[in-house]
Amino acid sequence: MLPGTLDMLILRTLLFGPTHGHAIATHIQRTTDDVLQVDHGSLYPALHRLQKKGWIESKWEHSKEHNRELKMYRLTRKGRSQLAIEQSKWDQMAAAIAKVMKPVQE
């Protein structure tokens, strides 16, 4: 993945609501039809990094479904703003790459 892409994907996933780490990785994998697979060795350092920046926050909560405590991650207001910035950068980058990869035929 390009640098910063995982952070953006995590923020985007949390836009739908609070969830735990494994569910974030699973959502990214399923949404991309298994093209992107996030291993826990990359996911949890990214979550800690985002938390230090104030873009997400976490809280231990009891899950009835899993019958145990899970660390739930939530997007903060600052994280929502950052997601908008990252989305804009991504759109610009994707458009620029597309121009090189699929040039308009004259």
Write the CATH number for 68. Answer: 1.10.10.10
In the prediction, which pLDDT does 106 show? Answer: 57
- Tell me the pLDDT tens digit for each residue of 20-39: 999 999 999 999 999 999 99
Domain containing 84 equals: 5-97
- Is 26 exposed, middle or buried, given 0-12, 13-18 or 19+ CB atoms closer than 10 A? middle
Q: How many domains does the chain have?
A: 1
Look at residue 104 and tell me if it is in a domain. no
Residues of the chain with pLDDT under 70: 1, 106
The pLDDT assigned to 9 comes to 97
What is the three-class DSSP state of 70?
A: strand
Quick check: is 105 in a domain? no
* Cα-to-chain-centroid distance, residue 75: 10
pLDDT of residue 1: 65
Residue 14 lies in a domain: yes
